[in-house]
Amino acid sequence: MDEITFRSDTVLSDVHLYTPNQRRLMVRLNGMGQPVFLSQFKLLWDRDSQTDSGAEGGDHTEGTPPAGTICSRVGASLQAGASTTTPEGLAAQLDEDGDLDVVRRPRAASASEPPGPPRDKVWRGALLLADYILFQRDLFQGRTVLELGAGTGLASIIAATVAQTVYCTDVGADLLAMCQRNIALNSHLLASGGGVIKVKELDWLRDDLCTDPEVPFSWSEEDICHLYGHTTILLAAEVFYDDDLTDAVFKTLSRLAHKLKNACTAILSVEKRLNFTLRHLDVTCEAYDHFRGWLRRLEGLAGGRLRFAVEPVDASFPQLLVYERIQQLELWKIFVEPVTDPIMSVDKASQPFS
């Protein structure tokens, strides 16, 4: 079992069991304790030759990938650990704790193997969001877009094919450097459109943006002024799988919405993941339920200077990218607009969620 196709019931331990010789490319845990992976990709898609048949999943020229096929070019640098010598004279690699670090030889890729979608490198929710951007190009035309938790940068790259400016944000210099590499790999998509992608650090656990010029991917005052003055679309894909993370995302969305000068639309992609829990002795989807709870909370807000309207997006739009569009994948829109004559206190008017 050399290739893994991720489905809604895939268990990570099974992936390691069936593919023990493949590195997972996890480099660290983020501030929320979630694993961070490095992944690079190149979209084999000519934006000037997109056809209707490709959009509908029809025939394409033999020997060339259909529109939106993703070629994964994955690379990772492994830190060299300390070495010691066994009694038999063989060098043994040790990790930072002194434990034996067994380095497995990666499986050689077959030259005849056609490039396939990196289902284990890019989350499906990001692919669904990218498909929606391609379907609703007019919505993004000439706009300023901010993506939260960009990961590999896929949605930001697709958005930049039509948007004027895209802020691709996440946390961690290694992750943001990966985004920059992926942007460079896909610069052919941005050349004719003139879109600009700015890779910046945006930590959901902080109330302010980092402006220290000594910190990689920090914000300049000009960038911050442009962000708050021009952004009208916010994006987030596959960042709602942990309750603490979901809380941080929605508080960040609220904080940003209160600082933006224009009405905005947030487009959120989420996968409804089912898990068996000992607490319930049943299959539940607690992370998804927590996400939906936040949507209801936004809709129920009253007395503030912003009004939030939430609606689901019909996911029957054409699929251009190659992935498994399962029923559990969902898109939601949050429309944020100022209240013309709010009845509220001054303190409530100026404060987002605490």
Helix (H, G, I), strand (E, B) or coil at 201: strand
320: pLDDT strictly greater than 60: yes
Question: Where does the pLDDT of residue 86 fall: very low under 50, low under 70, confident under 90, or very high at 90 and above?
Answer: very low
Question: Where does the pLDDT of residue 277 fall: very low under 50, low under 70, confident under 90, or very high at 90 and above?
Answer: low
Question: Where does the pLDDT of residue 305 fall: very low under 50, low under 70, confident under 90, or very high at 90 and above?
Answer: confident
- State the pLDDT at residue 350: 44
The pTM for the full model equals 0.71
Q: By mean pLDDT, which of 63-67, 125-129, 287-291 is the weakest?
A: 63-67
42: pLDDT strictly greater than 80: no
Q: In this prediction, what percent of the chain has a pLDDT beyond 70?
A: 60
Distances (CA, A) of 214 to 58, 167, 197, 204, 247: 50, 20, 21, 20, 29
pLDDT tens per residue across span 248-262: 999 999 999 999 999
**Residues 6 or more apart whose Cβ sits within 8 Å of residue 130:** 154, 155, 158, 321
Question: Where does the pLDDT of residue 37 fall: very low under 50, low under 70, confident under 90, or very high at 90 and above?
Answer: low
Q: What is the mean pLDDT of the chain?
A: 75
- State the pLDDT at residue 97: 55
pLDDT tens per residue across span 189-231: 887 777 899 999 999 999 999 999 999 999 999 999 999 999 9
- State the pLDDT at residue 191: 76
**317 close to 253: Cβ distance less than 8 angstroms:** no
Q: What average pLDDT does this structure show over 76-104?
A: 42
Query: Which DSSP state fits 313?
Result: E
> Phi and psi of 65, rounded to 5°?
-70, 150
Cα dihedral 21, 23, 29, 32 in deg (nearest 10) = -80
Q: What average pLDDT does this structure show over 131-146?
A: 96
Question: Where does the pLDDT of residue 274 fall: very low under 50, low under 70, confident under 90, or very high at 90 and above?
Answer: confident
- The CATH number for 124-338, chosen from 1.10.287.610, 3.30.70.1140, 3.30.1490.20, 3.40.50.150, is 3.40.50.150
Q: By mean pLDDT, which of 42-46, 241-245, 254-258 is the weakest?
A: 42-46
- State the pLDDT at residue 45: 62
